[in-house]
Amino acid sequence: MHSLLIFLTSYLVVFFSIPPIIKVAYQKRLFDAPTESRKIHKRIIPNFGGIAIFTAFLFSASLLIPHGLLPKGNLLMCAGLVIFMTGLKDDIVGLSPAIKFAAQFFSAIIVAVIADIRIENLHGLIGYHELHYYTSIGLTVFFMVGIMNAFNLIDGIDGLAGTLALICSLTFAFIFFKAQEIGWFYMSLSLAGAVLGFLYFNITPAKIFMGDSGSLVIGFLASIFSVKFLSLNALHHIQIGEFTVQYGSGVVLAILIIPVFDTLRVFTLRILKNKSPFTADSNHLHHRLLFLGLSHIQATFILALCNVMFIVLALSLQELSVGQILTVITMVALMANGLLSLYIERYKKLLFSPSSSSPARFSSKPSVKNVAADVMEKMFKN
């Protein structure tokens, strides 16, 4: 009952706080205007959903999680506040990448050094087991900053970042419950309730976006949950249903696979084109799915389903070594991306071909659904 109370408290705080936030945002003309061609939405929409998410999470966790169950909770909230304020200022007036990175590194250092929550063991990955203290801190800070930015970058269509955050928080809630880490279980549920309340207003057509104040906070919490789980797994194995988690690294990668893979992919492509990895473009996974004619909900559903499938895959591979698990997950992700690329190329040829098989035979204005159907027909014939 206490866990349900925490979840519902977060949900209700967000549910009742977002309508006033939307009203004030319009009154004060604080919204995300579609001024860039790469932006998908074509109307002004407030981007302060992160205020509701973080406020609900902070209220629920601070009020209902006993201090004894989460002794370092004050340090985590302090670090989270740094990230939230950084994201909020960026939503309002904008911040340079240098300032945003500085804030992210500072909050990560609070977690790794002061709270002493860090990655301590690699379980034989690339030949390393127990890590030196400073190596552990450096790896933890780098990991946390990377995950914060990965969630920030994946927040591109209605419902996607929120849905992935919901899957992440509920999965970690289940893991912490099985590990008897009740304080962390409650904290994961607090985030899950807040995200679910936000999704009610963010599913197409979106009435509000989470903004950087939301995506950075979610990435921050997801990274903390990951590091905590890895530190627990270093001490003992965790039983999840029929599976015994021997190597938490594979499970963490599976939980975070969509934002992590998408970020690494776009960064690599930008670097290969001699561009800055932080140059904005429309080449994210969700952009590619939208190009194929899928709606925001359909694209979100596909990526969320892939996320769940990777989690199941990681759990089923626990008999392998940590290196083998990570390799299999990476190869499956690359294969899925390759198939998507082939499908997109086929789609482009059909869409822009002047031959009789082009979509011109459908109508004067190509129908995306008909083009997609023709693509599938040709693929199966071949």
Listing DSSP states for 222-247 in one string gives HHHHHHHHHHHHHHS-EEETTEEES-
CA dist 355 and 361 (Å) reads: 9
CA dist 354 and 276 (Å) reads: 36
CA dist 115 and 106 (Å) reads: 13
End-to-end CA distance of the chain: 56
Say if strands 128-130 and 238-240 run parallel, antiparallel, or are unpaired. unpaired
CA dist 107 and 103 (Å) reads: 6
What's the sign of the alpha-carbon dihedral 326, 328, 333, 335?
positive
Select from 287, 256, 284 the least CA-distant residue to 270: 284
List the pLDDT tens digit at each of the 382 positions of the chain: 899 999 999 999 999 999 999 999 888 877 666 655 555 555 688 889 999 999 999 999 999 999 889 988 899 999 999 999 999 999 998 888 899 999 999 999 999 999 999 998 887 777 777 889 999 999 999 999 999 999 999 988 889 999 999 999 999 999 999 888 999 999 999 999 999 999 999 987 889 999 999 999 999 999 999 999 998 887 677 777 667 777 788 999 999 999 999 999 999 998 988 888 877 778 889 989 988 888 899 999 999 999 999 999 999 898 888 889 999 999 999 999 999 989 888 888 777 766 544 444 444 444 445 544 554 455 444 4
**Residue written as token pair 């973080």:** 54
**Residue written as token pair 């002004």:** 44
The pLDDT assigned to 327 comes to: 93
**Residue written as token pair 């800070």:** 141
Do 232 and 238 touch, CB atoms closer than 8 A? yes
Q: 125 by DSSP, 3-state: which?
A: strand
> Which bin fits 293, alpha (ψ -120 to 50), beta or left (φ > 0)?
left
Per the structure block, which two tokens stand in for 80?
């989270």
- What is the separation of C-alpha 170 from the centre of its chain, rounded to a whole number of angstroms? 13
What's the sign of the alpha-carbon dihedral 161, 165, 167, 168?
positive
The pLDDT assigned to 344 comes to: 86
Per the structure block, which two tokens stand in for 49?
């959903």
CA dist 161 and 157 (Å) reads: 8
Per the structure block, which two tokens stand in for 7?
């979840």
Per the structure block, which two tokens stand in for 291?
């190009």
Alpha-carbon torsion angle 152, 153, 154, 159, nearest 10? 60
Per the structure block, which two tokens stand in for 91?
């939503």
Taking the whole predicted model, whether its pTM rises above 0.75 is answered as yes
DSSP secondary structure letter of residue 260 = H
Q: Which residues, other chains included, contact 364 with Cβ-Cβ below 8 Å and sequence gap of 6+? A: none
The pLDDT assigned to 368 comes to: 46
Q: Which residues, other chains included, contact 82 with Cβ-Cβ below 8 Å and sequence gap of 6+? A: 103, 106, 107, 110
The pLDDT assigned to 248 comes to: 82
